[in-house]
């Protein structure tokens, strides 16, 4: 009896096989587990990032390998007014759109944090602009901004009667710039509102109770309780928002393609126009590389300026 | 009516945020909460309403605001959708998009489950730095990668094939999924795995039989989120795909349907509506998972 069980035991041990034992080796297992993710990210992210920096120092064109030309691409861009317009508009677009998104998103989050009927349904509806493909909602905006059949113009001229002529959304520089910013804010509000709502829900109600007993006003409660406790999550959401607004491509490409007269080019769309559509890969890569310092600066700024508060308050968790 | 109003606040006061305990009149609450909220909802939903209504309007109504009220449809028509489905390669674009989204989601889920497990559970020296590296990879936006990536894709001989998209989408999906799953694995008690180890389970058995079943909500969140992101992706698909029939829906609508000087707004909006529907339907089934993955990724 005992012998039989002994042999059984041995047999099952052997059946595990060399492969199974190899997978039980921790070092090998770690290697195998990290291989797919690391492989994909190295080949399609790290390598292209390096390649992009290299390309920006060459005169590569589509179908022709380039030669090293040093800083020539950047020197050319420094004297290119179109590049500077794109830099200016990228910064302006990011600053105004981020401000708008966070002001309106925070307001919406505060409204949603109240006790409301149908709260879950509301939350689901509000996230919709963020779920739908950007290009497709951008097309809807393009149609809303139509010079002749814009519904906003119709509303202003025929329903309210406050204007004589239809609005001219996209055919002159500044109106086109503001129209794009409005579309970007529209798309960004849900993300900000829902993320900040999650942050608001972690704030303990007892803090508000204590403040109420001390006779605080609504503004004081927001200023001294809500805002400081929201800062860590605000910093992270803002970092993401700034990065993805600054490098935005879809909205501009879908609505104006950089026009009128190249005045609404963001750096990303300009890089696409020069690099892929125009075939000047080297120059396009140089424009893309020129975005990196802005991104690093924005990340560091929003991270350190805002998240710094976290350790000042001495909060270990979260 | 008055009964309901007076009992509701007392019942809610234990769970509601403290601000609700301040006495507020009905009218004041109306102006400060419901009115702005209604404005927000109207503005956020209007483009979709406009998209939908345009898709079903006959051309005669579409360009004549004087005789027809533009906010309503006089005689709904399926012309635009019919034209889209039978006179363009729209069904083909839908299939391509679906295929690419499903494959890249599957690929990124697989690799991020393994990576997250290795980082969170097989703790090794430097695992934090690997986690940090993956987080940083999430901060690299596609807009600065697409030019060199186009050359890479060309060198690998993948240019103008769906495989180019399936392999490049994980660059932004894997960091996100890994980060989300690390958070989920963290919430599973380590003692469960220790028990299994003592019972003689191998590491892979533990992953398959214990960790993964417990992490199913996290997997669903990561999966639907990746699917949505790949469905919505634009810039890579614009740069790497050239032939008209291999394009994905967002790119194809913009490059194939927008042609000439007269835009066919009816079919453009019908195309946008149909292209948004799959994710919208998907979304309506999994709203809570979306919210949890969105906020989970931010909180970590």
CB contact under 8 A, B170 and A40: yes
Question: Nearest CB to B65: which of A30, A154, A194?
Answer: A154
As given in the structure block, the two tokens for residue B141 are: 């936006």
* Cis peptide upstream of residue A260 (ω within 30 degrees of 0): yes
Average pLDDT, chain A: 83
A122-170: pLDDT as tens digits: 888 888 888 888 889 898 998 888 887 788 888 877 777 777 777 888 8
Q: Residue A159: its pLDDT value, please?
A: 77
Q: Residue B297: its pLDDT value, please?
A: 59
* Alpha-carbon torsion (A205, A211, A213, A218), positive or negative: negative
B207-259: pLDDT as tens digits: 888 888 888 888 888 898 899 889 989 999 998 988 888 889 888 888 888 76
Where is average pLDDT lowest: A207-216, B61-70, B133-142? B61-70
Per-residue confidence at B89, pLDDT binned at 50, 70, 90? confident
- The pTM assigned to this predicted structure is 0.84
Closest approach of B138 to chain A, Cα-based (Å)? 9
pLDDT > 90 fraction of chain A, expressed in percent and rounded: 16
For A64, the 3-state DSSP assignment is strand
* Alpha-carbon torsion (B266, B272, B273, B275), positive or negative: positive
Closest approach of A152 to chain B, Cα-based (Å)? 11
Q: Does A289 touch chain B (CB under 8 A)?
A: yes
Position A105 pLDDT exceeds 90: yes
Question: Nearest CB to B280: which of A44, A132, A284?
Answer: A132
Q: Report the alpha-carbon distance of residue A27 to residue A22 in Å, rounded.
A: 9
B156-181: pLDDT as tens digits: 888 888 899 999 999 999 998 998 88
A274-A280-A285-A288 Cα dihedral, nearest 10 degrees: 0
Q: Residue A15: its pLDDT value, please?
A: 53
In the predicted model, what is the mean pLDDT of residues B29-37? Answer: 83
Of residues A107 and B286, which shows the higher confidence score?
A107
User: For testing the chain A interface, which of B34, B36, B47, B261 should be mutated: the one with the most A CBs within 10 Å?
Assistant: B47
Position B5 pLDDT exceeds 70: no
* CA R_g for chain A: 27
Per-residue confidence at A312, pLDDT binned at 50, 70, 90? very low
CB contact under 8 A, B202 and A26: no
Closest approach of B163 to chain A, Cα-based (Å)? 13
B125-163: pLDDT as tens digits: 888 888 888 888 888 888 888 999 988 888 888 888 889
In the predicted model, what is the mean pLDDT of residues B7-27? Answer: 49
Closest approach of B231 to chain A, Cα-based (Å)? 7
Helix (H) or strand (E) holding B104: helix B90-120
CB A51 within 8 A of CB B148: yes
Position A14 pLDDT exceeds 60: no
Q: Does B196 touch chain A (CB under 8 A)?
A: no
Position B6 pLDDT exceeds 50: no
Q: Residue A314: its pLDDT value, please?
A: 44
Report how far Cα B42 is from the mean position of its chain's Cα atoms.
Answer: 22
User: Which parts of B56-78 fold into alpha helices (H)?
Assistant: 59-62
């Amino acid at each position: 009896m005992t012998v039989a069980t002994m042999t059984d035991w041995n047999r099952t041990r052997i059946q595990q096989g060399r492969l199974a034992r190899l997978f039980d080796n921790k070092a090998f297992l770690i290697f195998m587990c990290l291989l797919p993710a690391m492989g994909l990210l190295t080949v399609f992210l790290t390598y292209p990032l390096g390649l992009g920096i290299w390309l920006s120092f060459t005169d590569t064109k589509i179908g022709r390998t380039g030669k090293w030309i040093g800083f020539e691409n950047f020197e050319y861009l420094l004297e290119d007014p179109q590049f500077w317009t794109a830099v200016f508009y990228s910064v302006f677009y990011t600053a105004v759109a981020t401000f708008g998104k966070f002001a309106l998103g925070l307001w919406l989050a505060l409204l949603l944090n109240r006790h409301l009927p149908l709260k879950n349904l509301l939350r689901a509806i509000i996230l919709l602009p963020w779920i739908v493909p950007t290009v497709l909602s951008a097309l809807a905006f393009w149609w809303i901004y139509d010079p002749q059949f814009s519904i906003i113009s119709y509303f202003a001229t025929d329903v309210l009667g406050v204007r004589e002529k239809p609005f001219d959304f996209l055919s002159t520089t500044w109106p086109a710039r503001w129209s794009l910013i409005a579309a970007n804010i529209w798309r960004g509000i849900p993300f900000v509102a829902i993320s900040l709502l999650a942050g608001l829900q972690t704030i303990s109600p007892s803090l508000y109770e204590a403040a109420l007993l001390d006779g605080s006003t609504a503004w004081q409660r927001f200023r001294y309780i809500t805002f400081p406790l929201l800062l860590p999550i605000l910093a992270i959401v803002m970092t993401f928002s700034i990065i993805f607004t600054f490098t935005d491509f879809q909205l501009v490409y879908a609505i104006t393609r950089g026009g009128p007269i190249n005045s609404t080019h963001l750096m990303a769309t300009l890089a696409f126009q020069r690099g892929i559509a125009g075939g000047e890969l080297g120059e396009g890569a140089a424009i893309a590389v020129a975005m990196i310092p802005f991104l690093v600066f924005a990340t560091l700024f929003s991270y350190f300026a805002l998240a710094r508060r976290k350790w000042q308050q001495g909060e270990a968790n979260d | 009516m008055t009964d309901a109003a007076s009992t509701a606040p007392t019942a809610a006061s234990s769970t509601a945020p403290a601000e609700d305990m301040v006495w507020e009149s009905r009218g004041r609450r109306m102006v400060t909460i419901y009115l702005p909220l209604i404005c927000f909802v109207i503005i956020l939903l209007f483009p979709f309403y406009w998209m939908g209504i345009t898709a079903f309007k006959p051309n005669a109504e579409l360009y004549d605001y004087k005789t027809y009220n533009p906010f309503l449809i006089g005689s709904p028509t399926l012309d635009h959708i019919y034209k889209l489905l039978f006179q363009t390669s729209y069904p083909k674009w839908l299939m391509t998009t679906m295929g690419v989204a499903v494959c890249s989601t599957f690929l990124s889920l697989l690799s991020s489950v393994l990576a997250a497990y290795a980082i969170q559970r097989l703790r090794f020296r430097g695992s934090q730095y690997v986690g940090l590296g993956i987080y940083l990879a999430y901060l690299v936006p596609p807009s600065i990668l697409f030019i060199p990536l186009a050359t890479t894709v060309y060198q690998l001989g993948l240019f103008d094939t769906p495989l180019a998209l399936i392999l490049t989408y994980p660059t932004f999906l894997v960091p996100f999924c890994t980060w989300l799953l690390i958070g989920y694995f963290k919430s599973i008690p380590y003692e469960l795995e220790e028990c299994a180890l003592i019972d003689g389970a191998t590491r892979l058995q533990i992953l398959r039989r214990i960790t993964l079943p417990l992490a199913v909500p996290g997997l669903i969140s990561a999966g639907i989120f990746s699917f949505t992101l790949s469905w919505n992706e634009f810039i890579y698909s614009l740069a790497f795909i050239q032939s008209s029939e291999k394009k994905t829906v967002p790119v194809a609508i913009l490059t194939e349907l927008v042609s000439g000087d007269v835009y066919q707004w009816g079919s453009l909006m019908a195309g946008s509506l149909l292209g948004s529907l799959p994710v919208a339907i998907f979304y309506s089934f999994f709203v809570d998972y979306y919210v949890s993955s969105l906020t989970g990724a931010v909180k970590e």
